[in-house]
Amino acid sequence: MTRLNAKLQIIRQKLQQADVPLQVRLVSYLRMSCRVADERGGRYSQIMTALHTHNINWWKTCCITPDGRVESNDSAVNMLLAPIAALHAANQPSRVLQKV
Protein backbone atom coordinates (compact mmCIF):
# COMPACT_ATOMS: atom_id res chain seq x y z
CA MET A 1 0.00 0.00 0.00
CA THR A 2 1.41 3.36 -0.98
CA ARG A 3 1.56 6.28 1.39
CA LEU A 4 -1.24 8.00 -0.54
CA ASN A 5 -3.45 4.91 -0.33
CA ALA A 6 -2.75 4.66 3.41
CA LYS A 7 -3.79 8.29 3.96
CA LEU A 8 -6.98 7.84 1.95
CA GLN A 9 -7.79 4.62 3.83
CA ILE A 10 -7.52 6.49 7.15
CA ILE A 11 -9.81 9.21 5.78
CA ARG A 12 -12.40 6.60 4.73
CA GLN A 13 -12.19 4.92 8.15
CA LYS A 14 -12.84 8.23 9.92
CA LEU A 15 -15.87 8.74 7.67
CA GLN A 16 -17.38 5.53 9.07
CA GLN A 17 -17.26 6.67 12.74
CA ALA A 18 -20.96 6.56 13.59
CA ASP A 19 -20.43 8.24 16.97
CA VAL A 20 -19.42 11.48 15.22
CA PRO A 21 -22.22 13.67 13.76
CA LEU A 22 -22.66 13.31 9.98
CA GLN A 23 -21.94 16.98 9.26
CA VAL A 24 -18.63 16.81 11.14
CA ARG A 25 -17.63 13.58 9.37
CA LEU A 26 -18.44 14.98 5.92
CA VAL A 27 -16.64 18.28 6.44
CA SER A 28 -13.63 16.47 7.89
CA TYR A 29 -13.66 14.00 4.97
CA LEU A 30 -13.66 16.85 2.46
CA ARG A 31 -10.96 18.81 4.28
CA MET A 32 -8.61 15.85 4.63
CA SER A 33 -9.26 14.60 1.08
CA CYS A 34 -8.61 18.03 -0.39
CA ARG A 35 -5.44 18.28 1.66
CA VAL A 36 -4.22 15.01 0.14
CA ALA A 37 -5.24 16.07 -3.38
CA ASP A 38 -3.94 19.61 -3.18
CA GLU A 39 -1.24 20.38 -0.64
CA ARG A 40 -1.97 24.10 -0.97
CA GLY A 41 -5.43 23.54 0.49
CA GLY A 42 -7.22 25.85 -1.96
CA ARG A 43 -9.51 23.16 -3.30
CA TYR A 44 -11.22 22.68 0.08
CA SER A 45 -12.37 26.29 0.33
CA GLN A 46 -13.54 26.25 -3.29
CA ILE A 47 -15.60 23.08 -2.82
CA MET A 48 -17.06 24.25 0.51
CA THR A 49 -17.97 27.65 -0.94
CA ALA A 50 -19.67 26.01 -3.92
CA LEU A 51 -21.55 23.55 -1.70
CA HIS A 52 -22.78 26.27 0.66
CA THR A 53 -23.71 28.56 -2.24
CA HIS A 54 -25.76 25.76 -3.76
CA ASN A 55 -27.41 24.66 -0.49
CA ILE A 56 -26.38 25.70 3.01
CA ASN A 57 -27.60 22.31 4.25
CA TRP A 58 -25.89 20.31 1.50
CA TRP A 59 -24.64 17.76 4.01
CA LYS A 60 -28.22 16.76 4.89
CA THR A 61 -28.60 15.41 1.34
CA CYS A 62 -25.63 13.06 1.79
CA CYS A 63 -25.21 9.54 3.04
CA ILE A 64 -22.20 7.31 3.48
CA THR A 65 -22.30 4.00 1.66
CA PRO A 66 -21.10 0.78 3.33
CA ASP A 67 -17.93 0.90 1.21
CA GLY A 68 -17.10 4.41 2.41
CA ARG A 69 -18.30 6.58 -0.46
CA VAL A 70 -20.25 9.80 0.01
CA GLU A 71 -23.39 10.07 -2.09
CA SER A 72 -26.08 12.73 -2.28
CA ASN A 73 -29.64 12.65 -3.52
CA ASP A 74 -28.88 16.09 -5.01
CA SER A 75 -27.15 15.77 -8.39
CA ALA A 76 -25.47 19.18 -8.04
CA VAL A 77 -23.90 18.13 -4.72
CA ASN A 78 -22.70 14.89 -6.34
CA MET A 79 -21.14 16.93 -9.15
CA LEU A 80 -19.34 19.19 -6.66
CA LEU A 81 -18.08 16.16 -4.71
CA ALA A 82 -17.00 14.33 -7.90
CA PRO A 83 -13.28 15.30 -7.71
CA ILE A 84 -13.06 13.88 -4.19
CA ALA A 85 -14.99 10.74 -5.15
CA ALA A 86 -12.63 10.25 -8.11
CA LEU A 87 -9.58 10.66 -5.87
CA HIS A 88 -10.79 7.92 -3.54
CA ALA A 89 -11.96 5.63 -6.36
CA ALA A 90 -8.61 5.86 -8.16
CA ASN A 91 -6.67 5.03 -5.01
CA GLN A 92 -8.82 2.30 -3.52
CA PRO A 93 -7.26 -1.16 -3.59
CA SER A 94 -8.93 -3.34 -6.18
CA ARG A 95 -10.70 -6.40 -4.90
CA VAL A 96 -10.00 -9.40 -7.07
CA LEU A 97 -11.73 -12.66 -6.31
CA GLN A 98 -9.49 -15.68 -6.42
CA LYS A 99 -10.57 -19.26 -6.99
CA VAL A 100 -9.47 -21.65 -4.31
- Check residue 94 and give its pLDDT: 55
Q: How far apart are CA 99 and CA 35, in angstroms?
A: 39
Q: How far apart are CA 93 and CA 50, in angstroms?
A: 30
Q: What pTM does this model have?
A: 0.76
- Check residue 97 and give its pLDDT: 43
Residue 51 has pLDDT above 50, yes or no: yes
Domain boundaries defined on the chain: 3-90
- Kindly state the average pLDDT of the residues 12-21: 90
Q: Give the contacts of 59 (CB within 8 A, at least 6 positions apart).
A: 22, 23, 26, 27, 51
- Kindly state the average pLDDT of the residues 40-53: 84
- Kindly state the average pLDDT of the residues 28-55: 84
Q: What is the pLDDT of residues 60-97, one digit of tens each?
A: 999 998 888 899 999 999 999 998 888 888 776 554 44
